[in-house]
């Protein structure tokens, strides 16, 4: 049930009938205060201004039309407030009916969208390095976005665009050769991290080494079997290791989702030739460059994007051009979403400009950068270890587990050892993910253990605890969650219960926004508010000891829908729930 959409449609119809042009939007929003009803229509004032009429009179005309059908019994009262706001009070019987529909449906009464093929590019770490804190945001937010779009009925293709090609490999191969490392089978990922550091050091200080490394890149790109062998080994070690991290974090990526940079290698020469033939790319100082008028250098000249270097090597942009072409032509994408940090925005914009100009992807195929800021420490510096080293993701998860255990012990929850371990596990991962998901992704955020591992506030432990508490209502009663049926009456219930019912029915409109914008913090806020509203209800009104069977049954059904919504929502965020805590 998408109440906002339903009201918007009805109001828009009425607005058209009274002569408001259709560029004026109804602007329906949930009301901020209960005295303004459940929803308010804010668009009348702007329409009146455009028409040059009194906004109050215009609102009255719209309301008269709405009243004709009483919004199909959706509303019990419609009021005009101030200069022309329309306040809509939802009808209790209608709400009760919608709650029953949601309870009876396996998909919570949420309608599937018309299915689109959506490629989501996320996580995408570089090979031959361990995943670190910098990968948290793309991995966690991208994964939640994939789950949400999939739930809405889309054909989601998860694309883990790993950095498994390019200069890095030249460096590594040159280093292994120099160290006469011929037993690649003994290499582990932590060796690799060291090799990588050493190789990078040599690359930066030794031009001879750097030249060798560059030659290896070209050799690799040309399919040299020695280079390919070492390359394969390095990639495999990394993939295995990363999969382990994904499993720990409950990330829905698997080996099948790996579509790394190397996959597009064979397409690159053809693309460079084609861009030249189309007059988009030109030779410039030995390299092949696309000059883009849309982007200017400091001196105002068109910015050049190199797609092939003088030594014949292709670049990150060349691969991304091929990658979009593949996603459109082969995967048949209608929409491509990138979860990459904001520092790569210009790179993406340039790639897209080239791709559109070359006609590789028509304009109706959406290309979206769902960018994000950085994770900072409490001094607002990039989040690193005390001695300035990047924090490995696995180390962070280990620390979270230790901290979650301490938190649980301090809470004295009387859990046996096995349960404590299981709860600590779920809370540690849930807290890290929730801390990430609950922040607006567009800004930087400060990583704070005490804030995320806390039973108070907008945190995973708070919501997980609320969830287990609702579950215990059913455990303590003879009511079976599966068999709870019958009528639901909200007419004589207090205002807080009405508010809870409305909030429950706002789940679909919340998810729709998150699916459109890739903003899971809105879903987090929704689930947090749901937990708060339910806790208030639970603490102030008896459920199992309600006045009569009818009231008990009604309240239990609200509890049940709250329970299901919390579980469902957390699952869309990629967070596990605990039945008991
Ligand atoms: N591997 C890149 C990095 O670590 C991210 C790749 C993102 N995806 C893309 N299609 N460029 O920065």
Q: Where are the domains of the chain?
A: 3-90, 167-257
Note whether 278 and 354 are within 8 A (CB). Answer: no
Note whether 561 and 99 are within 8 A (CB). Answer: yes
The angle, 0 to 180 degrees and rounded to 10, between the axes of the packed helices 55-68 and 44-51 is 120
Note whether 343 and 491 are within 8 A (CB). Answer: no
318 lines ligand 1 (CB under 6 A): no
Q: For the segment 479-494, what is each residue's pLDDT rounded down to a tens digit?
A: 777 667 778 999 989 9
Highest mean pLDDT out of 233-237, 292-296, 380-384: 292-296
| Of the candidate ranges 16-25, 76-85, 181-190, 480-489, the one whose mean pLDDT is the lowest | 181-190
Query: What pLDDT is attached to residue 192?
Result: 80
124 lines ligand 1 (CB under 6 A): yes
Query: What pLDDT is attached to residue 129?
Result: 86
Q: Closest Cα partner for 81 from 124, 131, 40?
A: 40
Query: What pLDDT is attached to residue 485?
Result: 72
Query: What pLDDT is attached to residue 12?
Result: 95
Cα of 387 vs centre of ligand 1, distance in Å, is: 27
Whether 390 shows a pLDDT value over 90: the answer reads no
Cα of 113 vs centre of ligand 1, distance in Å, is: 29
Query: What pLDDT is attached to residue 243?
Result: 97
Whether 448 shows a pLDDT value over 60: the answer reads yes
Which H or E run includes 544? Answer: none
Whether 389 shows a pLDDT value over 90: the answer reads no
Query: What pLDDT is attached to residue 168?
Result: 83
Whether 48 shows a pLDDT value over 60: the answer reads yes
Query: What pLDDT is attached to residue 249?
Result: 97
Section 189-201 average pLDDT: 84
pLDDT band with cut points at 50, 70 and 90 for residue 449? very high
Query: What pLDDT is attached to residue 479?
Result: 75
pTM higher than the cut 0.75: yes
Cα of 370 vs centre of ligand 1, distance in Å, is: 13
Pocket test for ligand 1, best of 340, 355, 361 (most atoms within 8 A of CB): 340
Whether 69 shows a pLDDT value over 60: the answer reads no
The pairing of strands 155-159 and 117-121 is parallel
Query: What pLDDT is attached to residue 575?
Result: 98
Q: What is the DSSP letter of 256?
A: G
Cα of 126 vs centre of ligand 1, distance in Å, is: 8
Whether 70 shows a pLDDT value over 70: the answer reads no
3-90 carries CATH number 3.30.1360.70: yes
Which H or E run includes 285? Answer: none
pLDDT band with cut points at 50, 70 and 90 for residue 184? low
**CA 463 to CA 431: how far, in whole Å?**
10
Q: For the segment 273-327, what is each residue's pLDDT rounded down to a tens digit?
A: 999 999 999 999 999 999 999 999 999 999 999 999 998 889 999 999 999 999 9
Look up residue 400 and give its two tokens.
């979270």
Note whether 138 and 158 are within 8 A (CB). Answer: no
Q: For the segment 533-562, what is each residue's pLDDT rounded down to a tens digit?
A: 999 999 999 999 999 988 999 999 999 999
Section 195-213 average pLDDT: 92
317 lines ligand 1 (CB under 6 A): no
163 lines ligand 1 (CB under 6 A): yes
Pocket test for ligand 1, best of 119, 120, 124, 327 (most atoms within 8 A of CB): 124
Cα of 411 vs centre of ligand 1, distance in Å, is: 42
Query: What pLDDT is attached to residue 189?
Result: 73
Which of ligand 1's atoms lies nearest the C-alpha of 341? 12
135 lines ligand 1 (CB under 6 A): no
Cα of 25 vs centre of ligand 1, distance in Å, is: 39
Cα of 574 vs centre of ligand 1, distance in Å, is: 22
Pocket test for ligand 1, best of 131, 161, 164, 169 (most atoms within 8 A of CB): 161
| Of the candidate ranges 370-384, 395-409, 467-481, the one whose mean pLDDT is the lowest | 467-481
Cα of 340 vs centre of ligand 1, distance in Å, is: 7
Cα of 161 vs centre of ligand 1, distance in Å, is: 6
Contacts of 572 (CB under 8 A, 6+ apart): 144, 147, 148, 151, 511, 523
Section 136-153 average pLDDT: 97
Whether 68 shows a pLDDT value over 60: the answer reads no
98 lines ligand 1 (CB under 6 A): no
Note whether 144 and 573 are within 8 A (CB). Answer: yes
320 lines ligand 1 (CB under 6 A): yes
Query: What pLDDT is attached to residue 311?
Result: 87
126 lines ligand 1 (CB under 6 A): yes
């Amino acid at each position: 049930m998408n109440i906002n959409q339903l009201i918007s449609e009805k109001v828009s119809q009425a607005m058209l009938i009274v002569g408001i042009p259709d560029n004026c939007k109804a602007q329906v929003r949930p009301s901020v205060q209960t005295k303004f009803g459940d929803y308010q229509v804010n668009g009348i004032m702007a329409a009146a201004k455009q028409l040059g009429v009194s906004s109050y009179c215009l609102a009255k005309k719209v309301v008269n039309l709405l009243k004709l059908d009483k919004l199909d019994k959706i509303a019990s009262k419609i009021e005009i407030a101030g200069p022309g706001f329309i306040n809509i009070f939802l009808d209790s019987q209608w709400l009760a009916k919608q709650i029953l529909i949601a309870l009876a449906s396996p998909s919570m009464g949420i309608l599937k969208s018309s299915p689109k093929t959506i490629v989501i590019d996320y996580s995408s770490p570089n090979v031959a390095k361990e995943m670190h804190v910098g990968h948290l945001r793309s991995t966690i937010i991208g994964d939640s976005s994939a789950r949400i779009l999939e739930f809405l009925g889309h054909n989601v293709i998860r694309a883990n665009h790993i950095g498994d090609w390019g200069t890095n490999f030249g460096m590594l191969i040159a280093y292994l050769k120099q160290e006469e490392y011929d037993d690649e089978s003994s290499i582990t990922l932590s060796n690799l991290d060291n090799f990588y550091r050493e190789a990078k050091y040599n690359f930066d200080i030794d031009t001879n080494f750097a030249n060798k490394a560059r030659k290896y890149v070209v050799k690799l790109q040309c399919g040299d079997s020695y280079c390919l062998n070492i390359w394969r080994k390095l990639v495999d070690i990394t993939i295995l290791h990363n999969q382990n991290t994904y499993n720990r974090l409950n990330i829905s990526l698997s080996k099948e989702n790996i579509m790394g940079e190397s996959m597009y290698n064979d397409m690159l020469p053809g693309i460079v030739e084609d861009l030249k033939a189309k007059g988009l790319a030109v030779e410039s100082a030995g390299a092949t460059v696309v000059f883009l008028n849309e982007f200017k250098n400091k001196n105002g000249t068109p910015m050049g994007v190199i797609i092939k270097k003088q030594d014949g090597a292709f670049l990150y942009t060349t691969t991304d051009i091929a990658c979009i072409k593949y996603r459109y032509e082969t995967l048949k994408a209608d929409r491509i979403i990138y979860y990459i940090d904001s520092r790569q925005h210009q790179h993406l914009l340039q790639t897209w400009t080239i791709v559109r100009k070359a006609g590789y992807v028509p304009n109706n195929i959406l290309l979206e950068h769902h960018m994000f800021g950085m994770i900072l420490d409490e001094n607002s510096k990039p989040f690193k270890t005390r001695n300035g080293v990047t924090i490995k993701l696995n180390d962070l998860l280990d620390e979270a587990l230790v901290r979650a255990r301490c938190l649980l012990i301090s809470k004295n929850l009387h859990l046996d050892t096995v349960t404590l371990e299981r709860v600590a596990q779920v809370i540690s991962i849930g807290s890290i993910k929730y801390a990430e998901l609950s922040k607006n992704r567009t800004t930087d955020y400060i990583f704070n253990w005490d804030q995320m591992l806390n039973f108070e506030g907008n945190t995973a432990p708070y919501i997980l605890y609320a969830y287990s508490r609702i579950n215990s209502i059913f455990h303590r009663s003879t009511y079976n969650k599966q068999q709870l049926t019958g009528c639901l009456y909200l007419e004589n219930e207090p205002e807080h219960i009405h508010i809870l019912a409305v909030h429950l029915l706002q789940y679909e409109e919340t998810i729709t926004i998150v699916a459109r914008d890739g903003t899971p913090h809105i879903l987090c806020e929704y689930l947090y508010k749901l937990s708060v509203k339910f806790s208030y209800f639970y603490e102030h009104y008896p459920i199992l000891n309600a006045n009569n069977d009818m009231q008990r049954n009604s309240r239990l059904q609200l509890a049940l829908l709250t329970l299901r919504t919390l579980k469902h929502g957390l699952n869309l965020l990629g967070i596990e729930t605990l039945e008991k805590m």
